[in-house]
Structure 1
């Protein structure tokens, strides 16, 4: 059995944000996999530094205006879409005035991390999954890239596990060297509660719930891990390995990307029947 539908959930994608290892892969991997015949969908946050006019983003009214409750507060979900020039890749953007429109990425204009980055990640995760449901699309594999996607595996395997779109979906998480230095916000623990996910699900992690705990949370609910680059924290790779998860390294040569990821997706998806 082979995976044929891959949902890419990316923290960054070039050309919408400045080039980096993560943003380049956010574009490169979906494009390579799509050209190989896979059906894909791609999501990212609508960061405040994205130029909507230049990127030709427009709101998808039929998918927008749902209210997501985060820590007992209603937050409207806005969905925008654009196509990457010279490709067949359509990108869906998760937007909200409080979490994204008026903000930059992980840090503000002064280089200070936002104190509610954890809540932003939760809103992003739920916004993506609710939108995929509305699209009536059933991914075989979800591939998450970046800390902003760290709550996705948890929700797929718990709150959304009985949804038809995700009942048999496997989750792959890519780990990068980029790390948040500050905390995730005082409200993170309460904000993560949704459906059968209660705040005490985080009791097994450190009380202050650091970036390292966020990465461990993603690993705990993932089916496979990709190590991107040589500078990924060895402690977090060791954690994934000790849990018995399959771990691969992103290939150094571009020509090896397609086969490496195809084989990994199929291996992960095949485990459904094991």
Structure 2
């Protein structure tokens, strides 16, 4: 399960696991530091904030030219644009600085972080959002906007595939669609498939017509069979398949031009590496 529904909201399982790990670290640290009345929750929160800020700054710096067209979008973290290792390094560096200032923090903070890391690793966080089982591209019977039956495999034709699950009523889906449409035009070595989740087919057609989007491979999945199969109820969700039947990555939430470019670069690198292995 890659996302969990909470009423009208869908929360990424990765984010919930991160929150749980943070609380676990704080709890273990509290137990270790209790004899000296030392708590580490404030330090953990500061480390998290320092890591997030650093991860965002580094990501924006890498993709700076793509943010220039809309500078305020640098502040819009909804695109998921973070440099993971920069964030980890900054968070740990901040924690080390706090420990240097207060030596009594070393034991509770180190043991708390170790406990959190063990649980994170055991829960398979390193494999999220990668998918642990294969999902056959041909397993889903879909229809085109014209009412013709098709499958993802037929549209993919053996190429690497990006499958975007979207709906016309979903604001992040609407925001990211122009970036995906542009990517479809630029990346002819990949196949982009837009799987609509509207129960009202007319709404999907109306959205495409109103926005004048020039996109290919729009198919309908009003029963939501693909989200159920991959374990993600959140929209938008984007799935990355290799040239066979294997899903190699999954992204929950909307893309910006920069975060989509980053994801496609990583996907292309993964495909190149797999080709060399074969």
With the length of structure 1 as denominator, give the TM-score of the two structures.
Answer: 0.29
Q: Relative contact order, CA 8 A, sep 6+: which one is greater? A: 2
* Larger Rg belongs to: 2
Higher helix share: 2
With the length of structure 2 as denominator, give the TM-score of the two structures.
Answer: 0.29
Higher strand share: 1
